[in-house]
A and B are shown apart, each in its own frame.
Chain A
Amino acid sequence: MPRGLRLETVLVVGGLLAWASPAFAQSTVATKTLPVTGNAPPVCAVGSPRLAPGSQINFRGLSGNTLQIDQMIDPTTLAVSAASVDVKFDAVCNYPHRLRLESQNNGLWPTLQRTLPPAPGFGSAVPYRATVMWGVVNGVLNADAQARRVNDQRFNIDLPTAGEIDLKLNIAPGASNARDNAPLLAGDYADTMRIFVEPR
């Protein structure tokens, strides 16, 4: 009988050990972690131009992407009349980038290129000054009209930038590629300005 009791005790203890082991390997807490991922690619975007209210002097306004000067010359002196305008563009660039301001002609030049040299004493192109503000940049492009060529200025911006590109165009009174206040040859004059926000 004592031997039987001893056997019984061994069985009970053995049972506890055998069943308790898997239980200790389990947990009262189970956790799963699921990552949520995505990306934001480098993006630069520039919206359509619009005139800043009350900013235009001697400009008829903005038609599409064209700015039309109202009175290009003083009818009494034939010298260039002053004109200025402020154009704004909504823009964003979400990474360090470069702003490039480009004048295609380096001034207002006749739309029909002449085959003959300009008449002495007359201006044949009109210089102007473009000022641009964008984020931390406050830059200037002088289109001096001394030669018909592409003229650009580049500005590096180290930060993502969002807001408005503010472009001011200014033609000084009497501006000319000949001499100040020189009369301007008859014709249509134009230039194309381009604004780039682009990778550096």
Chain B
Amino acid sequence: MTRNLKRPSLKRLAALSAAAVAIAWSGSAAAQSDTDTKDFAVVGNVPAMCVGGTLTGTGATFDMGVLIDINTGLLRNDLAAPPKILSGSFCSARSTITVNATPMAAQTFTSTPPAGFSRLVDYTATAAGWTTTPAAFATGAGSNPAAVQTRGTAFSGDITVSVGSFSTVGGANQRLVADTNYQGNVTVTLAVAS
């Protein structure tokens, strides 16, 4: 036991040595006039990322209700729905906003409709607020060059998504087959631009 006190183990020596170093650093800062500087590199990065925000208001679905004039069977010409607001969207770098959409399609009546009838409804989806020119996608168009819009700076804000300009695929004189569920989808994508 006495010998252990006089000759501490290697582990104990290492601990004492580390403590002595720490004391020496704090002592030198307070008591000496010349300075000793240690540079600690503190680095990090902010990755380019986009977050789509959350929907405000009544759910994510554009519920258009009854699509047809029940006296004629033709598509109503007054179809409208309140826009959806994606709040708190942000991108930390240059970004693109892309809107895509699929026609509203009868979900039960999936076969080819007879002459004079259609099971598809075209429309235009628009995403505004992110770029000067809103991104817009018409489901009946052969190409949609306006569907992708670029913003040169990071941005945080609301995106207003709207649907409109509904039309029956096949022409205005086509009737919609009866179906309890017509559905399409609007997809809004924020992406970091390369």
Q: Which residues on A are within 8 Å of B, measured CB to CB?
A: 3-4, 8, 11-12, 15-16, 19-20, 23-24, 26-43, 45, 92, 94-95, 135, 159-163
- Secondary structure dominating the interface of A: mixed
Partner of B181, one of A11, A19, A39: A39
**Which of under 10, 10 to 19, 20 to 34, or 35 or more describes the interface residues of B?**
35 or more
Whether B67 contacts A40 by the Cβ 8 Å rule is: yes
Additional A-B contact list (10), CB under 8 Å, known A4-B38, A39-B66: A3-B21, A31-B52, A32-B86, A34-B188, A38-B63, A38-B79, A39-B181, A40-B178, A43-B70, A160-B114
The residues of A that contact B71 with a CB separation of less than 8 Å are 45
Q: Are B190 and A29 in contact (CB under 8 A)?
A: yes
Given A37-B62, A39-B182, CB of A31 within 8 Å of CB of B187: yes
A3–B189 alpha-carbon span in the complex (Å): 50
Q: Which residues of A contact B70 (CB under 8 A)?
A: 41, 43, 45
- Residues of chain B in range 58-79 having any CB-CB distance to chain A below 8 Å: 60-68, 70-73, 79
Bound Cα distance A11, B72 (Å): 75
A35 CA to B163 CA, complexed, in Å: 11
Q: Nearest A residue to B47 by beta-carbon distance?
A: A23
Report yes or no: A92 in contact with B72, Cβ–Cβ below 8 A: yes
Task: Please measure, in the bound complex, the distance between the C-alpha atom of A155 and the C-alpha atom of B156, giving whole angstroms.
Answer: 63
